[in-house]
Structure 1
Amino acid sequence: MKRFFLVLGGILFLSLPANAQFNSNPVLNIENKDKKFLNYGYFLGFNQYGFKFEYKQDRGNQGTDIQVLESTGFNVGLIGELRLNEFLDVRLEPGLYYNARTLGFPGFAATDEGESDAITEVKSTYINFPVLLKIGTRRFGNFKPFLVAGPSASLNLGSNEKSLDDNSSGTFRMKKWTYNYELGFGIDFYLEYFKFTPSIRGVFGLTDELVRDKDPNSPWTGNIESMKTRGLFINFTFE
């Protein structure tokens, strides 16, 4: 996560137009862009999903917790923005988010068969539906910082929730619908013909996503109290 913040900081600095950095009275691009009641656009970006696990019994050893290996996925989606006033907008960002996570479960024998049971790849394709409040500052020349926050619902197309198989048959199951809250920041850059916005946002699951195995003592799910998504989005928006 720290790497993402450093990368975004570099992108934001390099993306600042020269007249926005050094000229106190730049020529204003697309002056009336934010005065429209409705604005539309699209976004492309990257994501990194993980899980936060809580356990029924304290294992007492961090090395025996479930390990999550995160990878970088991609995002694509649409934007609809409703202007409330100069500083507030309501933003809808339905999008497709693809990612894969690898889980390492403790307690399996150090054999080839045990290793295959201990490692599970979780591929997820989410359709995410956030409703966000965008809180901006005044426009400074051709850029405008903002904060964004709000709830979201995610539909997991690869959840396997209705599958009759479970981890004992090699199938990891998650709930189809999950609910989150999102919090982030970004900067609007007003270019000559369009508005370009890099942003970074954290996603925090509110609901338990795990579908447990049939066996209440399952070595995969038996000790899990809850499993909630933690994620990071970096989006590049064009309006």
Structure 2
Amino acid sequence: MSKLSLKITAIVLFSTANFFHAQLFKTKDRMDNLEGVDDAKLSYGFFLNANQYDYKIVLDPKYGINGNKNLVQSKTSASFGAGLIGKARLNDNFDLRLEPGLQFVERELTFDTQSNDQFAAGTPTNQPFTPLALTDADRIRKVKSTYLDIPLLLEFHGDRWYNSRPYAAVGVNYSVNLQSNSASADDNQQGIFRSTTTNFGYTAELGIQFYFSRFKLTPAFRGTFFTNNEVVADNPGTPPYWAAAISTMQTRAFMFVLKFE
């Protein structure tokens, strides 16, 4: 790296550090940013987030496990979401927040269930079926979901320290999967993985609020955990390669959130 590049980098870093110091920390004869903003009874904003959704899966002991081998695996991928913020002030330390948002999600389920051919003659829980030679398309289901997620959070925050304030929040979630396929007449035998449309869960969140001269920026980490079983059974007569192998399936999500108020 040339001497000129080093000088430019040093100037940029120095200027950035000075900017954040000037914005966030009190200096002599300067008032705090956005004084009184937290005294408003109602306020609003918006958020952006990166997310990582996964399934917590409990397998059926007959169709989902063969010896010591789990026959179904879940693979997650990173995605994003966005939403709105509505805040009601309760007192100096507690706020009530409603933060509806859309979360765009894609997960992958792998069904290594060819060994279920052994149940082709039928069982008390499954009709007789003609075994299929499972292809890669049969084994893998890419599950795309769009969640309208509506968490109601009770936030507890400490006192401001210069232009920052830590907080913790807990709450409940109502979530609608707009791509659940729950009403589809087709099932996994036609390549359609179905899950529940309406879901419930709980959320926990930790973050720090930073007060700038014109807005409040909040980076936070959030975990959301569904409490209902999202599996929709395959149609009668469908071989037990797919939904029958799963007893319960529940979403769990981890997010990095940026809030602007």
TM-score range, shorter chain: 0.7 to 0.9
CA RMSD of aligned residues (A): 2.4
Aligned: 1:90 with 2:112: no
Aligned: 1:134 with 2:137: no
Number of residues paired by the alignment? 224
Residue 44 of structure 2 is matched in structure 1 by 40
Q: TM-score, normalised by structure 2?
A: 0.79
Q: Which of residues 229, 240, 254 is equivalent to 1:218?
A: 240
Residue 4 of structure 1 is matched in structure 2 by none
For the pair shown, the structure with the greater C-alpha radius of gyration is 2
Aligned: 1:159 with 2:180: yes
CA distance in 1, matches of 2:68, 2:255: 27
Residue 105 of structure 1 is matched in structure 2 by 111
Residue 200 of structure 1 is matched in structure 2 by 221
How big is the shift at 1:236? 0.7
Amino acid in structure 1 at the alignment position of 2:258: F
Cα deviation 1:66-102 (Å, max 9, x = unaligned):
2111111111110000000111000000001101001
How big is the shift at 1:108? 3.3
Residue 236 of structure 1 is matched in structure 2 by 258
Amino acid in structure 2 at the alignment position of 1:71: S
How big is the shift at 1:202? 0.4
CA contact (8 A) 1:108 1:114 kept: no
Task: Kindly report structure 1 stretches of 4+ aligned residues shifted beyond 6 Å.
Answer: none
CA distance in 2, matches of 1:147, 1:90: 12
CA distance in 2, matches of 1:225, 1:70: 19
How big is the shift at 1:149? 0.7
How big is the shift at 1:23? 5.8
CA contact (8 A) 1:80 1:93 kept: yes
Most deviating of 222-231 and 170-179: 222-231
CA contact (8 A) 2:23 2:213 kept: no
CA distance in 2, matches of 1:196, 1:34: 13
How big is the shift at 1:184? 1.3
CA distance in 2, matches of 1:55, 1:24: 59
How big is the shift at 1:27? 3.7
CA distance in 2, matches of 1:93, 1:52: 24
CA contact (8 A) 1:205 1:229 kept: yes
Cα deviation 1:95-147 (Å, max 9, x = unaligned):
011010011111238x9952211100000001011100011011111000100
| Distance change (3 Å), C-alpha of 1:60 and 1:171 | closer
CA distance in 2, matches of 1:233, 1:86: 27
| Distance change (3 Å), C-alpha of 1:86 and 1:56 | same
Q: Which of residues 18, 22, 25 is equivalent to 2:21?
A: 18
SS in 2 for 1:45: strand
Aligned: 1:56 with 2:60: yes
Cα deviation 1:178-204 (Å, max 9, x = unaligned):
001001101100001000011110011
Aligned: 1:209 with 2:212: no
Amino acid in structure 1 at the alignment position of 2:259: T
| Distance change (3 Å), C-alpha of 1:143 and 1:229 | same
Residue 76 of structure 1 is matched in structure 2 by 82
CA contact (8 A) 2:195 2:230 kept: yes
Residue ranges of structure 1 left out of the alignment (5+ in a row): 1-13
